[in-house]
Amino acid sequence: MAATDTQPDDPQVLRTVDGVPLKTALAVASRRARIRAFFLVVPLLVFILLTFAVPIGQMLSRSFTDDKFSANMVELGKWFDANGKAAPDEAAYAALAADLKTASEEKTAGNIGTRINYELPGTRSLFTSAARKAKDLEPPFKEAILALDPQWARADLWAAMRSASAAATLNFYQAALDRQIGADGNFEAAPENVQIYVKLFIRTFVMSVVITGLCLLLGFPVAHLLAVLPLRHASLLMILVLLPFWTSLLVRTTSWMVLLQSQGVVNDLLVALGVITTDGRLEMMYNQTGTIIAMTHILLPFMILPLYSVMKTIPPSYARAARSLGATSWTTFRRIYLPQTVSGIGAGGILCFILAVGYYITPALVGGADGTLISNQIAFHMQKSLNWSLAAALAAMLLAAVLILYWAYDRLVGIDNMKLG
């Protein structure tokens, strides 16, 4: 191939026995191997692209674009482009009327109204009812539209429409940070009684830390037992640890509901034992306690398994050496055993934490009002309020937070030190 291009007499070029320059031959040979290797990973690559990269990309793009207004209000968009922040004149109202007419024909008034309703609650019906009457509008449009509803003159409405006339927007991130458009068109903190996301984020992180900590406290001794018990007993214990994995998440969560509810097994037992009275039944469900108990149980294996895989590799002679050198069993644990399990603690901790931060079903079922997490709010916007852009913005912030955490972990402990088993 490339051999024809090079001078055959050039003594500098090393050649194979059939005269091909060595470099070319090597490139050809290794390229074939590379292509073959690439074909082997293609299915996985395509799979990951389609099921992971693309959806996440879509989610991210949705979080700062929403064309429900801009795509359907073309004329008004043009007017905003030409006039900027000027007060709406007759031409603006004419454009509005034209767009409303189109919207009523194409049944998009609801979408348009929904978009503005995100910014100014209560304005959705302004659009839907105006669209219903749009075909009867006659010039002068300003007068005609204001006759439909004087609210059309509101300055904040026009500010919201102006900001919505571009598909790209940071409004959803601002909403996700509990901020809103004020009367003057600037962003300001939302009223106290509708602030929710920042608090939920904080709660989600605090609860995740608590759950991860509980998993570590409960899982560490179990993992240690697993690592030091004779194989026969260890396999039995391992089955007990893995058992929850073989049961559906929903079944496990509902089992916890049966156990924890105020007329449930645990309370009945405590009443029967005389620990509490019937009136003093503990509230362990529909609150944070329920979420913490159920999630700790569900995430426990994710802590135990990495810990176990690390502990398995620590020979008992380290502890013996430390004891023989004069250390008490506590000092031995603290200074010799614990530091060597750090990689397992890190892996288990980050795994539990990331799973806890994104957990949805369990808090939804047992969390009640104050045990729900940010993921439940994302689900609310996905399924009920149908504000997917806000859901995407919240999800993107959650993703960013987790990535930052991961980065910090890498800086502090080092990802290379993480051992997942």
Partner 1 sequence: MVKQPQNDGFVVFDHVQKSYDGETLVVKDLNLSIGKGEFLTMLGPSGSGKTTCLMMLAGFETATSGDIRLDGRPINSVPPHKRGIGMVFQNYALFPHMTVGENLAFPLEVRGMGKDERETKIKRALDMVQMYDFINRRPAQLSGGQQQRIALARALVFDPSLVLMDEPLGALDKQLREHMQFEIKHLHESLGITVVYVTHDQGEALTMSDRVAVFNDGRIQQLAPPDELYERPDNAFVAQFIGENNKLEGVIETINGAEAEVRLGTGELIAATPVNVSKKGEKVLVSIRPERVEFKPEMMPPGAHMIDAEVMEFIYMGDLFRTRLRVAGHDDFVIKSRNTQGQTMLRPGEKIKIGWSPADARALQP
Partner 2 sequence: MKKLLILSTALSTFAFAASAQEVVLMSWGGAYGKSQTEAYLKPFTAETGIKTTMVDADNPATPVKAMVEANNVTVDVVDIEYADAIRLCDEGLLEPLDPAILPPGDDGTPAMDDFLPGAVTDCSVATIVFSTMYAYDTTKFPNGGPKTMADFFNTEAFPGKRGMRKGAKANLEMALMADGVPAAEVYEVLATPEGVDRAFAMMDKIKADTVWWEAGAQPPQLLADGEVVMSTAYNGRIFAAAVSEGKPFESVWDGQVYEYDVLAIPKGAKNLEAATQFLAYATGTQRLADQAKYISYGPARKSSGPLVGLYEDGKTEMGPYMPTAAANLTNALASDFEFWADRDTQLNERFNSWLLN
Helix (H) or strand (E) holding 188: strand 187-189
Residues 211-240 that bind partner 1 (CB under 8 A): none
Among 4, 248, 277, 324, binds partner 1 (CB under 8 A): 324
CA-to-CA distance for 88 and 306, rounded, in angstroms? 63
When asked if residue 325 is in the footprint of partner 1 (CB under 8 A), the reply is yes
CA-to-CA distance for 239 and 246, rounded, in angstroms? 10
Binding mask 282-321 for partner 2 (x = CB under 8 A): ----x-----------------------------------
Residues 200-259 that bind partner 2 (CB under 8 A): 200, 203
Pick the stretch among 83-91, 201-209, 317-325, 367-375 that binds partner 1 (CB under 8 A).
317-325
CA 243 to chain centre: 27
Among 242, 269, 321, 400, binds partner 1 (CB under 8 A): 321
The interface partner of residue 336, options being partner 2, partner 1, none and the CB cut-off 5 to 8 Å by kind, is partner 1
Helix (H) or strand (E) holding 180: strand 179-181
Among 76, 92, 99, 108, binds partner 2 (CB under 8 A): 108
394 contacts 197 by C-beta, under 8 angstroms: yes
The interface partner of residue 415, options being partner 1, partner 2, none and the CB cut-off 5 to 8 Å by kind, is none
| Count of residues touching partner 1 (by CB under 8 A) | 18
Helix (H) or strand (E) holding 200: helix 197-228
CA-to-CA distance for 194 and 203, rounded, in angstroms? 16
Among 249, 336, 379, 405, binds partner 1 (CB under 8 A): 336
**DSSP 8-state assignment for residue 120:** S
> Residue 4 or residue 317: which is nearer to partner 1 going by CB?
317
The interface partner of residue 286, options being partner 1, partner 2, none and the CB cut-off 5 to 8 Å by kind, is partner 2
CA 31 to chain centre: 40
Among 63, 66, 73, 123, binds partner 2 (CB under 8 A): 123
When asked if residue 109 is in the footprint of partner 2 (CB under 8 A), the reply is yes
The interface partner of residue 326, options being partner 2, partner 1, none and the CB cut-off 5 to 8 Å by kind, is partner 1
> Residue 319 or residue 396: which is nearer to partner 1 going by CB?
319
When asked if residue 310 is in the footprint of partner 1 (CB under 8 A), the reply is no
Handedness of CA 322, 326, 329, 333 (dihedral sign): negative
Write 299-302 long-range contacts (CB < 8 A, 24+).
299/211, 299/212, 299/215, 299/352, 299/355, 299/356, 300/215, 300/218, 300/219, 300/222, 300/241, 300/244, 301/241, 301/242, 301/244, 301/245, 302/215, 302/348, 302/351, 302/352, 302/355
First to last CA, the chain: 48
Residues 350-389 that bind partner 2 (CB under 8 A): 368-370, 372, 377, 380, 382-387
152 contacts 126 by C-beta, under 8 angstroms: yes
Among 102, 174, 255, 340, binds partner 1 (CB under 8 A): 340
| Count of residues touching partner 2 (by CB under 8 A) | 39
302 contacts 351 by C-beta, under 8 angstroms: yes
Query: Within 10 Å of residue 92's Cβ, how many Cβ atoms?
Result: 22
CA-to-CA distance for 287 and 250, rounded, in angstroms? 18
The interface partner of residue 315, options being partner 1, partner 2, none and the CB cut-off 5 to 8 Å by kind, is partner 1
> Residue 322 or residue 395: which is nearer to partner 1 going by CB?
322
Q: Is 272 helix (H, G, I), strand (E, B) or coil?
A: helix
* CB 339, min distance to partner 1, A: 5
Site for partner 1, rule CB under 8 A: 315, 317-318, 320-329, 331, 335-336, 339-340
**Which spans of this chain sit near partner 2 (rule: CB under 8 A)?**
106-111, 113-114, 117-118, 121-125, 128, 193-196, 199-200, 203, 261-263, 286, 368-370, 372, 377, 380, 382-387
